[in-house]
Amino acid sequence: MTELTRRSLLAGTAAAAALPLAGIVPTDAAAPLSGKQAPGFYRYKVGTMEVTAVTDGLTIGPLSDTYVANASKDAVNAALEAGFMARDRATQPYTPVVVNTGGKLVVIDTGLGPAMLQQSKGTAGQFQTNLAAAGIDRMAVDAVVISHFHGDHINGLIGPDGGAAYPNAEVMVPAAEYKFWMDDGNMSRAADAAKPAFQNARRVFGVVGSKVTQYDPGKDVAPGITSVSSPGHTVGHCSYIVAAGSDRVLVQVDITAGMAQLFVRNPEWQFGFDMDKQLAVQTRRKLYDMAVAEKMLVQGFHFPFPGIANIEKDGNGYRLVPIFWNPTI
């Protein structure tokens, strides 16, 4: 067997590459750098329904000391390095999905909103731009389903002009979320650091106005989309099962709300932003065990884009197994 060294590989490549160039006069003209990413959306079928995962972009911030409440920063950094990620950094992608059920066009969560697009100089708040790039008119959206009231999920209910981004859509929210975040008593009792989230919910739903429907988990929010109770990250957090025929996808939303590579592998780790951390761990295990047992694909709001993966048991934790990019639908 031939020993394939880096040197022989490079030499071989250079020799092969030189052949077609024989007789051609080289020029110094270089193609200009693009400096721009392609619009981010990815489509797949669930039975007869079509899902489009649309990126809202990504934020990178410093890793706080309490990013994982029950693990040391050293342990978190070791896990980041083991997962080929930079130390001391929290990288957070955001991926809402659109489901075309055949009869209805449904958006699940809305991203950080166009205001963030300006504030972040284009790195986050891209959802509405990418939605248009995917050929989806926000005026044609029939329903917007909200999983919970954190800003990365609700702020995109507001459009670039400051009005409702989906003026023709019914906005559906978990009843327990609405009750919790709109309660003045809860707001006044909340820690100062948590108060802005209450104020933000009031600001956003003040713009959306009266077209808000509250739902309880277990209900179908649209034909083929069933809400699943998954509390812990917030009190009324909901996930969804999108099902058609024998095809089923768990749209988990924030079952792992931090970097998925950390919390999927270490499901007992308590994410600093989970409101009820023990309950969030229980919910994570429950839903992942279900996905493993039933071989369901999992679509994660904070997974690496496009956010769709298989999940399997791996020791005491789990492992995400990416799908192949499918060039057809």
Task: Give the footprint of Zn ion on this chain (CB under 5 A).
Answer: 152, 254
Q: Which is it for strands 297-300 and 247-253: parallel, antiparallel or unpaired? A: parallel
Residues 6+ away with beta carbon under 8 Å from 104: 142, 143, 222, 223
- In the complex, the smallest distance separating the C-beta of residue 309 from Zn ion, rounded to whole angstroms, is 17
How far apart are CB 254 and Zn ion at their closest, in Å? 4
Among positive and negative, which fits the CA dihedral 293, 299, 301, 307? positive
CB atoms under 10 Å from CB of 144, counted, come to 29
In the complex with Zn ion, the residue whose CB is nearer, 123 or 168, is: 123
Closer to Zn ion by CB, 243 or 298: give it: 298
Query: Which residue's CB is nearer to Zn ion, number 97 or number 243?
Result: 97
Nearer to Zn ion, 149 or 215 (CB): 149
Q: Which residues contact 230 (CB under 8 A, 6 or more apart)?
A: 217, 237, 238, 239, 252, 253, 255, 283, 287
Q: Give the dihedral sign, CA 52/112/260/90.
A: positive
* Between 254 and 274, CB nearer to Zn ion: 254
Residue 101 or 256: which CB sits closer to Zn ion? 256
CB 285, min distance to Zn ion, A: 19
CB of residue 225 vs Zn ion: minimum separation in angstroms? 19
User: Could you give the dihedral angle defined by the CA atoms of residues 241, 243, 248 and 254, in that order, rounded to the nearest 10 degrees?
Assistant: -20
Amino acid at 6: R
Q: In this structure, what token pair is assigned to residue 233?
A: 């990250």
- DSSP secondary structure string for all residues of 190-210: S-GGGHHHHHHHHHHHHHHTT
Distance of CA 43 to the CA centre of its chain: 14
Residue closer to Zn ion (CB basis): 203 or 211: 203
At its nearest, how many Å lie between Zn ion and the CB of residue 92?
8
List Cα–Cα distances, 77 to 64, 256, 263, in angstroms. Answer: 11, 18, 13
**Closest to Zn ion by CB, 242 or 259:** 259
Angstrom CA distances, 59 to 93, 96, 303, stand at: 6, 15, 13
- Nearest approach in angstroms of CB 89 to Zn ion is 18
Residue 84 Cβ, how far from Zn ion at the closest point, in Å?
Answer: 23
CB of 38 to Zn ion, least distance (A): 24
Between the CA of residue 61 and those of 73, 92, 109, 130, 256, what are the distances in Å?
Answer: 15, 8, 22, 23, 18
